[in-house]
Amino acid sequence: MSKLKLATVWLDGCSGCHMSFLDMDERLIELADIVDVVYSPIVDTKEFPDMVDIALVEGAVASVDDEKKIRKIRAHSKLLIAMGDCAVAGNVPSMRNPIGPQAILNRAYIENADVQPQIPCVVVPELLRIVRPIHEFVKVDVFLPGCPPSADTFHAALTALVTGEPLDIPALTRFGA
């Protein structure tokens, strides 16, 4: 049996989900026997592959770039997993929604700037008016809530998905876990 292709993606999140993923520690080695990590912030691939079997997405959709990425990932993934509360529910990034992006940009680049207070027009992608969870843009196959989901949760979920065993997510994790 050829190995499954796994991608992990980092949108608007704190990378905590990736850290927790790495917290699987030695179990990562077992995992490496059955999956190939083909795209991830922790591997050096620039382009999202043509087709992956499983895509783990961390973070909410907060910018025009995020939206482009998530649509592309959906189009090139067989199974899309929303990883952690930001991807599942918006979480902390979405806390700006009631006040809007301009207030956030002003706070970050103007009010707190020591020199040259200006809002960048390149590199920093244009922010969407509302930060939203990924399922509001594309179809999501599995939701793994948690902030972050624990390493055990990742291990149990990925094992079940790879082996095709039944997966009871609410027994593993919850919002804010």
Partner 1 sequence: MNIEELEQIAESVRLENAKYDYEVNVCMDLACASQGAGPLRDELVKAAEKSGKKVLVRRTGCMGPCSSGPLVRVDPEETLYHHVHANHAEAIVASLGDGPVPALQCDLNEHFDKQVRVVLENAGYIDPEKIDDYIACDGYKALLTALTEMSPNTVIQQITDSGLRGRGGGGYPTGLKWGTVAKAGGDLKYVICNGDEGDPGAFMDRSVMEGDPHRVIEGMAIAAYAVGASKGYIYVRAEYPVAVARLTAGLRDARRRGLLGNGICGTTFNFDIEIRLGAGAFVCGEETALIASIEGKRGTPKPRPPYPAVSGLWGKPTLINNVETYANIAPIIRKGGKWFANMGSERSKGTKVFALTGKITNTGLVEVPMGIKLREIIEVIGGGVPGGHTFKAVQTGGPSGGCIPAEMFDTPVDYETLAQLGSIMGSGGMIVMDDTSCMVNVARFFIEFCMTESCGKCIPCRAGTAQMFTLLTRICNGGGTLDDLELLEDLCATVKEASLCGLGQTAPNPVLSTLKYFRNEYIEHIVHKRCPAGVCNIEAAVPEVQAEVLA
Partner 2 sequence: MSEPVGVKTLQINGEEVSARSGQTILEVAREHDIDIPTLCHLEGLSDVGACRLCLVEIKGSNKLLPACVTTVFEGMEVSTHTERLQKHRHMILELLFAERNHVCSVCVANGHCELQSLAQDQGLTHISLPYRNPELTVDASLERFTVDHNRCILCTRCVRVCAEIEGAHVWDVMGRGINSTVITDLNDPWGSSSCTRCGKCVQVCPTGALFDKSKVGSDHPKYPDFLPYLNLMREAR
Q: Which of residues 45-84 bind partner 2 (CB under 8 A)?
A: 82
Which stretches of 13-172 are assigned E, i.e. beta strand? 35-39, 52-58, 61-63, 77-83, 127-132, 142-144
Q: Which residue lies nearer to partner 2 by CB, 43 or 99? A: 99
DSSP string, 47-86: S--S-EEEEEEESBEEEHHHHHHHHHHHHTEEEEEEEHHH
What residues line the site for partner 1 (CB under 8 A)? 64, 67-68, 71-72, 75
CB of 65 to partner 2, least distance (A): 21
CB of 48 to partner 1, least distance (A): 11
What is the maximum alpha-carbon separation in the chain? 58
At 130, the amino acid letter reads I
Binding of partner 2 at residue 88 (CB under 8 A)?
Answer: yes
User: Beta strand pairing status for 35-39 and 52-58?
Assistant: unpaired
Q: Which residue lies nearer to partner 2 by CB, 6 or 131? A: 131
User: Beta strand pairing status for 35-39 and 61-63?
Assistant: unpaired
CB of 53 to partner 1, least distance (A): 20
From candidates 76, 135, 137, 152, binder to partner 2 by CB under 8 A: 135
Residue 91's closest CA among 61, 125, 57, 129? Answer: 61
User: Choosing among partner 2, partner 1, none, which partner's interface includes residue 140 (Cβ < 5 to 8 Å by kind)?
Assistant: partner 2
**Residues in contact with partner 2 by the rule CB under 8 A:** 82, 85, 88-92, 94-95, 97-99, 130, 132-133, 135-136, 140, 143-145, 147, 169-170, 174-176
